[in-house]
Structure formats: C-alpha cells, structure tokens
C-alpha cells in the first residue's frame, strides 16, 4: 500500500484513540480500513481525494461477497457490520480532516434468525424468579453468620446483571462510591467504548444494596473500594453454583440476564429508545435485536 494511505491509516488510528474509543476499536477499525484502502489502490485510486460515493458503495457490495482470508468462506454478519462501522467512522474522520464531503452510507445487514439465536439468548420471567428463589438454597453447609452475606452477594449479582442490566465488566468495576442511594442511581464510569451513564435502581434493589454495603460487605476482605468483593472468576463461580442449584440450562451466562431484562422491559411496553439508554447502547440498532426475539416467540 502506498505511503499516503499508510499515513492516513495511522492518522485514523490516532483519531480514534483521541476520541477515547476502546483499545479493541482503536486496533481493529484501522485494520478494517486497510482493506478498503487496498481495494481503492487496486482500482488505481492512489489518493484519497479521488474517491467518490460510488467507490464506497461498490466496496460495500464487494466485501459482502469477499471470502475470509483464512477460513475461505464469506464474512459473517457480525464481521460485515463491524467493517461498515469502521468505514462510517473513517468517512467521518475524512470529512473533518480533509476537503472531502462524503455522506456515510450507514449500511447494515440485519442479523438472520440463526444469528440472533446464537448471539442473543434470554430467559423467561418465571426462570428469573426461579434463580432468585434458588439463592436461599446456597451455602447452607455454612453457619448462618457465614451463609447470609454470601446469599446477599449472590442476590446482588442478580440485581446488577438483571435488575440494572449491567455488563459483567461493569459489575466487576463498580465502586461503592458510584452508588447514589438517595437518588437511586448507579454511575457507570467508562463502560463499553468509554461511555459514562447513570442507571436507575428500583426501590427494592436500592434497599438490598444498602443492606449489603452496611451489614454484609465487611464480611469480605477483598477489593474494599469495590461493591463486589470477588474476582471475575469468583463472580462467575457464584453464578454457576446458583445455576446448578436452580437446575436451569447451564449454558446461561451473566450476559443472558442483561438480554433478559431488555426483552422483559420491551414486553412490558417500554420503548426501544428508553431501553437503549438504559443499557448504554451506542445505537438503536443494537437494541432492536430484542424486537426480533419477541416476534420469534410470538
């Protein structure tokens, strides 16, 4: 690839980093753009100011038929959508830093039914109730003094992942000081893609968090500044133990609870826009997947 394109790719990477995107995006988006610039060069377009809207649209069609370099099969829906995202952001970068004025195509491929079933799984409200109910059957081989804080911690993990719809990493990184009991809000500091947001708590969850902090948190010695006094492996272990006791599908993960609350909120009539804000999604497209799940159930 020519020197101009290599420099452009490097500038794009710096641009993403300056905007505070995650390390994954800062690494992968320029890598994706490399293939776009290589495509242009193969079309004898050696400078960026020569590209047109038509070139971009032709590239979008081209990558849908292109084979994976290692797997010798067409690119997955997820791979294609990430490539489109990278190109959207690249065009935004060009519009800001060059004389170009190109409309980002905002091109997407809707996930197929099979894609949705693989990527998004949720459980019913009844199964969720069973998980909560099963907490009382945990750690009963300990004394009551030892059992109570462990059960409270297990319930808290369910509350955060389901009731508040937090990601696993957000649960793990949540500081005690990020909990506003009076306002019933949780402050998520730099969640996915470095996005901050406030998440509302129900009165029940707020009370359980307060009781855990003031009565049970001192039982645990680790990670004193954090709400959850467990390692990531510890959080996973608590949840897997609960799944085993409840006799639910062992393939259910903590992220399943986040998918489940989104599905249940939608079933209860909450708008896509409100759910998107609640979950901290970057776009409505990430949230609209739950409408497909509900339609499939119906």
51 vs 264, more confident: 264
pLDDT in the model for residue 241: 94
Quickly count: other Cβ atoms within 10 Å of residue 141's Cβ.
Answer: 7
CATH superfamily of 125-297: Intergrase catalytic core (1.10.443.10)
CB 227, CB 177: distance < 8 Å: no
Closest CA to 221 of 208, 231, 235: 231
Least confident segment among 55-64, 106-115, 261-270, 279-288: 106-115
Provide the pLDDT confidence category of residue 173 given band limits of 50, 70 and 90.
very high
Q: What is the mean pLDDT of the chain?
A: 84
Secondary structure (3-state) at 106? coil
pLDDT in tens, 66-99: 766 556 667 777 778 788 888 888 888 888 877 6
Which one-letter DSSP state was computed for residue 217?
G
pLDDT in the model for residue 251: 77
pLDDT in the model for residue 110: 46
Domain boundaries, the chain: 3-109, 125-297
**Annotation: CATH topology of 3-109:** DNA polymerase; domain 1 (1.10.150)
264 vs 291, more confident: 264
pLDDT in the model for residue 100: 65
CB 209, CB 201: distance < 8 Å: yes
At 208, which helix (H) or strand (E)?
Answer: helix 203-211
pLDDT of 59 above 90? no
pLDDT in tens, 122-138: 899 999 999 999 999 99
50 vs 289, more confident: 50
């Amino acid at each position: 690839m020519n020197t101009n394109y290599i420099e452009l790719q490097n500038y794009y990477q710096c641009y993403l980093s300056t905007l505070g995107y995650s390390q994954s995006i800062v690494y992968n988006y320029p890598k994706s753009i490399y293939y776009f610039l290589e495509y242009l060069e193969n079309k004898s377009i050696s400078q960026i100011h020569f590209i047109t809207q038509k070139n971009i649209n032709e590239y979008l069609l081209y990558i849908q038929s292109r084979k994976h370099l290692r797997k010798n099969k067409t690119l997955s829906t997820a791979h294609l959508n990430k490539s489109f995202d990278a190109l959207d952001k690249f065009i935004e970068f060009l519009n800001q830093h060059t004389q170009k004025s190109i409309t980002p195509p905002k091109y997407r491929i809707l996930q197929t039914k099979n894609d949705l079933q693989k990527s998004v799984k949720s459980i019913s409200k009844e199964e969720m109730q069973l998980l909560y109910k099963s907490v009382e059957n945990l750690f009963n081989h300990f004394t009551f003094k030892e059992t109570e804080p462990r059960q409270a911690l297990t319930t808290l993990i369910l509350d955060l992942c389901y009731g508040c719809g937090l990601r696993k990493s957000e649960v793990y990184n949540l500081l005690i000081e990020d909990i506003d009991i009076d306002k019933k809000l949780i402050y998520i500091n730099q969640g996915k893609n470095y996005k901050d947001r406030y998440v509302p708590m129900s009165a029940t969850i707020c009370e359980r968090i307060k009781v855990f902090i003031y009565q049970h948190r001192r039982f645990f010695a680790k990670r004193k500044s954090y709400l959850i006094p467990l390692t990531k492996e510890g959080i996973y272990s608590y949840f897997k133990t609960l799944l085993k006791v409840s006799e639910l599908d062992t393939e259910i993960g903590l992220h399943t609870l986040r998918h489940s609350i989104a599905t249940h909120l939608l079933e209860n009539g909450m708008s896509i826009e409100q759910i998107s804000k609640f979950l901290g999604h970057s776009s409505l497209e990430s949230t609209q997947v739950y409408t497909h799940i509900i339609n499939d159930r119906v």
